[in-house]
Chain A
Amino acid sequence: MTVIEDLAPPPKVEVRPRGVSRRERWQRRLPLLPALIYTIVVTQIPFLVTLYYSFQSYFWNTTAPAHFNGVSNYKTVFTTPAFRSALWRSVVMTAAAVIIAMILGVALAVLLDRKFFGRGVVRTLLITPFLIMPAAAALVWAGPMLDPNFGLLNYLLAPFGVHHVAWLSTHALGSVIVVMIWQWTPFMTLIVLAGLQSQPPDVLEAAKVDGAGAFATFRELTLPHLRPYIELGILLGSIYLVNVFDQVRLMTNGGPGTATTNLPFYLYQQVNYAFDIGGAAATGVVTVILTIIVATFALRMFARVFRFEEAV
């Protein structure tokens, strides 16, 4: 890799532009406005509409117009176990995938953080799972890799006494999580590797001179140094993985039963199979509220990682 410096330096212009004229202020604002207005319109209006429909009874497969039905959609959300179990599954899938991918990522980054024959090729091979289209990854895992009758995995595991396991029916949740881990470990590896390579070598030299063992050096010096990188990886990984849909839809279709139904898939079912816009909207509103609570902490973490604490 090329030289990797530390995390983003504080911006050059730190002071608030005080004493700039009104005209100047608008000149500064103007370039921001298109993107700001675009983002507000496209990302915020759908949520306002979601809020509206969450109080309506509306099934898009009927001609009956939407009508106000109070909080009954919310009652359904909180009384049906389906929402709670989908929520819980989202949490389990995201947490398991992010944590295991990060542990593997740290291990692989340590492995890649020294010169050896063919390092560039190894790195290139390792990042490939992250680049493959998630839909393609899901279908290739579901068929050629995990099929009970001709899947490659059963063949490779046969010497270990595994015989024609139907992974997607017996270990559905685990299989989906494995594919998520497979796709996101490369990402974690790259971020942690960037952290490892930004470590000042003289500090490590000094530790060596002082007679510190490799493991102690890693625990006492390297891990603390890696902390912001690990936090960043976990944060970004969670943002993407909590929305994971392709693998669920294409590997298990949420099943067997509801064994792999996470929130995105549950919402997809409400809209596409139950035609229930009102119910999906209420589920969505509750999801957003929960997300905002989590995101408040996440944003604080962002601020710390990007070193402008005063922002939040």
Chain B
Amino acid sequence: MTAVPLRALRAREPGSRRLREVSGKVGWTVLAWVVAIAFFLPVLWMVLTAFKPESAAETWPPRFTFSPTLAEFRLVFSGWGPYVTHSVIATIGSTILVLLLGVPAAYALSVHPVGRWRDGLFFFISTKMLPIVAAIGPLYVIALKTHLLDSIWVLIILYTAMNLPLAIWMIRSFMLEVPSELLEAAELDGAGRIREITGVILPVISPGLVSTALICVIFAWNELFLALNLTVTNAATMPMYLISSVPQEGLYIAHLSAAATVASVPVIIVGWIAQRSLVRGLAMGAIK
């Protein structure tokens, strides 16, 4: 009596386990997708709304079907000129300056380290902890007195200081990975310090430098607090353009969404492409 059901059970068992495994796997996949889409939804909604005519953007219930229009994008592209120019100059200018200052500094803290390199590293990172907002009043006065107020230079100078500590930590972590045989070989060849940097180190760490630069670009491009406090028109940046796209009255949701899409998409795409090195960079080289 008992033998038959047991054999039947045994026969069925592997199949049912596989079924459970498969359904678990499907459940896992579905859960991951649902969570990812939930996180992505506001971004998707922003992009969708950007393609709506203004009248379709503020409806109840929200509309998911509509005839897409580029009208709001056209409006953005006709108005963003000065803002995007300032943002590009401040972003690229500060990033170049960060690399020019950061590469030699990282070299002095890694390859041929100065005596108190640890103190140096910690000094740089400690400046990141001092809240810049605390000095905003005096910064305003300093900018006013040095005639830097509302000039693109004040942003370049401050964004460089903002990103430099992160960049030094990052670049240093890449330099530590340069094989010492390469450095020794260069030394045997009688290469000086500058040849060592340009000829041996820079080619090896160039992917790291690119990801460092990308992170600096992202932070500078997205910065609002300093720009809002220290510039008005001559150096107003993209985040400020976003603010200006919200009028006092009238419908503006589609226009705002188009402006927000245009302002965010470059950085989002850069970040998607660089996502692997982004982790390492944001962890300041602690994670490889």
Contact = CB atoms under 8 A, between A and B. Distances in A.
Nearest to A5: B288
Contacts of B104: 31-32, 34-35
Contacts of B70: none
A139 B113 contact: no
A13 interface: yes
The listed residue with most A CB atoms (<10 A of its CB), out of B36, B118, B144, is B36
Contacts, number: 347
Q: Which of B25, B122, B129, B272 has most A Cβ within 10 Å? A: B129
Contacts of B66: none
A46 B135 contact: yes
A122 B40 CA distance: 10
A116 B133 contact: no
Interface in B101-159: 101-102, 104-105, 107-115, 118-142, 144, 157-158
Given A49-B142, A143-B256, A187-B282, A29 B114 contact: yes
Identify which of A36, A60, A291 gathers the most chain B CB atoms within 10 Å of its CB: A36
Interface string B221-253: 110110011000000001100110010000011
Contacts of A122: 32-33, 36
Interface stretch (A169-177, A201-209, A215-223, A241-249): A241-249
A31 B107 contact: yes
Contact of A149 (B33, B58, B132, B276): B58
B208 interface: no
Contacts of A134: 222, 224, 239
Contacts of B164: 35, 38-39
A229 B287 contact: yes
B115 A25 contact: yes
A162 interface: no
Given A134-B222, A268-B229, A144 B32 contact: no
A239 interface: yes
B126 A299 contact: yes
A128 B40 contact: yes
A132 B49 contact: no
Given A35-B105, A49-B135, A232-B283, A137 B28 contact: no
B286 A305 contact: yes
B268 A128 contact: yes
Interface string B25-40: 1001101110111011
A243 B37 contact: no
B203 interface: no
A308 B104 CA distance: 22
A305 B42 CA distance: 34
- Most chain B beta-carbon neighbours within 10 Å: one of A52, A121, A284, A291: A284
A7 B287 CA distance: 5
A254 interface: no
B89 interface: no
A198 B86 CA distance: 42
A42 interface: yes
A312 to B, nearest CB: 7
Interface string A140-165: 11011101011110010000000000
Contacts of B224: 134-135, 245-246, 249
Interface string A6-24: 0111011100110000000
A126 B34 CA distance: 11
Given A17-B115, A150-B58, 12 more contacts: A16-B115, A25-B115, A35-B101, A128-B43, A131-B267, A136-B242, A140-B46, A155-B60, A155-B61, A198-B287, A232-B283, A277-B138
27 contacts: A1-B276, A5-B288, A29-B114, A31-B193, A32-B114, A39-B123, A43-B127, A45-B142, A116-B29, A123-B36, A126-B39, A133-B238, A133-B260, A134-B222, A135-B243, A140-B43, A143-B246, A143-B253, A144-B46, A144-B257, A149-B58, A263-B133, A281-B138, A291-B130, A295-B129, A299-B129, A311-B122
Interface of A: 1-2, 4-5, 7-9, 11-13, 16-17, 25, 27-32, 34-36, 38-39, 42-47, 49-50, 52-53, 58, 60, 108, 111-112, 114, 116-119, 121-137, 139-141, 143-145, 147, 149-152, 155, 182, 185-187, 190-191, 193-195, 198, 229, 232, 236, 239, 242-243, 245-246, 249-250, 263-264, 267-268, 270-272, 276-277, 280-281, 283-285, 287-288, 291-292, 294-295, 298-299, 302-303, 305-306, 308, 310-312
The 6 closest A-B pairs by CB, nearest first: A31-B104, A284-B134, A35-B105, A280-B137, A32-B108, A136-B260
Interface of B: 25, 28-29, 31-33, 35-37, 39-43, 45-46, 49, 57-62, 100-102, 104-105, 107-115, 118-142, 144, 157-158, 160-161, 164-165, 168, 173, 176, 180, 193, 218, 221-222, 224-225, 228-229, 238-239, 242-243, 246, 252-253, 256-257, 259-261, 263-264, 267-268, 270-272, 275-276, 278-279, 282-288
